Amino acid sequence: MENMTECDFETLDKCPWGGDKPPMEFLYKDFMGCEIVRCQECGLVFAKQRLNKTGLAKYWEDYLSRVHLHDSKAVEQRNKMYEIDFQLISEHVTKGKVLDVGCGNGSFLKLFEINGYDASGVEFGKEAADTAASEHTIYYGEFPKLVFKDKYDLIIFRGVLQYVPEPKAYLEKAIELLASNGHIFITAQPNVDSLCFNLFKENFTQPVTGVDFLGYTEGLFTEYFTSNGLKKVAEKYFYEETPYANIEEDILKVAKAIECKRENKEVGFKAPAFYGNMMSLVYCLED
């Protein structure tokens, strides 16, 4: 973030989900001084100051090497999570065309391909798109603006929707591209209804910031998809089975945060992985 300037940020005066100006609850300021609020009408948590298109292009240009592949232990843990996520979605979609939106270097795509799916990806970061394209079919650019000739049996948003400026444009595009009985899989998605988000706020494991624009709830997604003809068919909050869990130590950290809250003290340490932190949701287009 060292190369970012004030010209790389924008300020919002409306909720990015509802598009209007309902009352906002101030939650905290992030590490860049961006104000984070919760919409009192829909429950979306969002950054009022955030990266604009110029800032986003800078941030994502070299994200793959700068962040995604920088820590070998994190890569190993993420690969384990890919397997957990694949196991969940393969219970609902056993074959067909798959589109992974925000596919990074294509590591999650590879799991689908080796299991017989016809998989392709979308990537906004140039470095990641070029890397993934060496092994996979990749569409480079902003998902809502891209043209696709196919319909898909499965569209994946894995740890992606917190980064998009216009979330409904992404979801609308996904619904438009679904085949009959197609599925949308949202996973590795931070849950702002979780105990830890509301305890730790800016110290949550993946907090809302001027870079991670948005924080969602399961109810927000489900209400939207239900109104657009999709049914929720799976809801999981992976924790104990993940490579991040250290159950006894995690419980102690959460208990310490609760004590701080009761004593009106600042929770000045990082949240652990915990129950409810991250959500995985599967929706199916009903005939």
Residues across the chain = 287
Q: Rounded CA gap, 93 and 10, in Å?
A: 39
Listed residue (13, 47, 281, 39) closest to 157, CA to CA: 281
pLDDT in tens, 72-123: 888 899 999 999 999 999 999 999 999 999 999 999 999 999 999 999 999 9
Q: Token pair 């706020």 is at which residue?
A: 201
Whole-Å CA distances, 135 to 102, 110, 203, 219: 16, 9, 37, 37
Element (H, E) at 189: strand 178-190
Q: Which residues contact 219 (CB under 8 A, 6 or more apart)?
A: 43, 193
Confidence (pLDDT) at 2: 57
Q: Which residues contact 96 (CB under 8 A, 6 or more apart)?
A: 117, 118, 152, 153, 154, 179
Which CATH code is given to the segment(s) 59-285? Answer: 3.40.50.150
Q: Rounded CA gap, 274 and 276, in Å?
A: 6
Cβ count within 10 A of residue 19: 9
User: Hey, what's the torsion of the CAs at 45, 49, 50, 54, to 10 degrees?
Assistant: 160
Q: DSSP letter string over 120-165?
A: EEEE-SHHHHHHHHTTSEEEES-GGG---S--EEEEEEES-GGG-S
pLDDT in tens, 167-187: 999 999 999 999 999 999 999
Cβ count within 10 A of residue 3: 8
> pLDDT below 50 — which residues of the chain?
none
Using the 8-state DSSP alphabet, how is residue 73 labeled?
H
pTM of the full structure: 0.94
Listed residue (167, 183, 174) closest to 39, CA to CA: 167
Contact 219, 285 (CB under 8 A): no
Whole-Å CA distances, 243 to 80, 106, 198, 199: 7, 21, 23, 23
Q: Rounded CA gap, 75 and 97, in Å?
A: 26
